Amino acid sequence: MCGRFTLHAEDLEILKEYDLTEMPNYDQRYNIAPGQKVLAIIHDGKQKRAGYLTWGLVPAWSKDLKIGFKMINARSETAHQKPSFKRLMSQKRCLIVADSFYEWERLDKGKQAKRIALKNRHLFAFAGLWDKWEHEGEELYTCTVLTRAANTFMQPIHDRMPVILPKEKENEWIEPLKRDPNEVYQFIQGLDIDPLEAYDVSDYVNSSKNEGQACIAPLI
C-alpha cells in the first residue's frame, strides 16, 4: 500500500527534471494524504503537462464519489483485469511526482513510521492511473497509485510498495498511445526497482493534519 508521501522539491527542479514548460500553482508538501491534490504529469499528444489530481480514483462510471477513498491504490498484478482500471491501463496513465513516501513498520510495541526515498535520485514518479468524472456539469479529475509486491528492502517494513518508475521509463509510461492492458501489465512486471533508503520519523506524521519539516525529521 502507498498511503502517504512527500513532494517538497523546488518548483524549478521539477520543471527541469520533467522537461516541463510551466507548472501549476505549487506548494511544497511534507505529508500528502488520500483525498488531497497530488502533482501529476500526463502527455497530451503534443507535450507533457503538469496539473493536480485528487488522490483517490473515482471512475467515470461511478455514481458515488466516496468510492475514491477506497481506490487510492491499484494492485499492478491485477489492474489490467479489473473493470475499474483496465481502460485506464490502456490509455490514462500518469506520473505522480514525489520525493519520498511513508510506510509504517509493525513492531511488538506498535507501528513505527518510516520515510523512504531513492538512494540515487531526489525526485521520482509513481506509476499512476487517472480518470475524469462528470455529472450535471460538475467535473472531477482523480488518480490512483499502482502498487507491487515489496522487494527485499521493503519486505521487513511492509509487504507492498508503490510502483516507482525508473527514470528512463517515465516517458514511455505516459506515451499518448492506446495500449493493450496486458502489454501494460508486462511493462510493469519488467521494471527494475531503484535502490531505496529509509529512516524512522516521529509519529507526528501519523495525522494527515500535520504538515511541515517536522514530518521528515529523523527520529533521534
**Cβ burial, residue 166 (10 Å; 0-12/13-18/19+):** middle
Pairing of strands 93-98, 100-107: unpaired
Asked about 139 being catalytic, the answer comes back as no
pLDDT one-digit tens code per residue, 179-210: 999 999 999 999 999 999 999 999 999 999 99
Q: Which residue has the higher pLDDT, 9 or 65?
A: 9
Show the domains of the chain with their CATH numbers. Answer: 5-215 (3.90.1680.10)
pLDDT one-digit tens code per residue, 129-165: 999 999 878 899 999 999 999 999 999 999 999 999 9
Q: Which listed residue (2, 94, 143, 215) is catalytic?
A: 2
Asked about 211 being catalytic, the answer comes back as no
User: Is pLDDT above 90 for 26?
Assistant: yes
pTM (predicted TM-score)? 0.96
pLDDT one-digit tens code per residue, 68-108: 889 999 999 999 999 889 999 999 999 999 999 999 999 98
Here the cell at position 57 is 480514483
Q: Which listed residue (94, 103, 143, 170) is catalytic?
A: 103
How much is the pLDDT for 109? 86
CA distances from 191 to 3, 72, 87, 165 (A): 22, 21, 21, 7
* Confidence band, pLDDT 50/70/90 cuts, at residue 125: very high
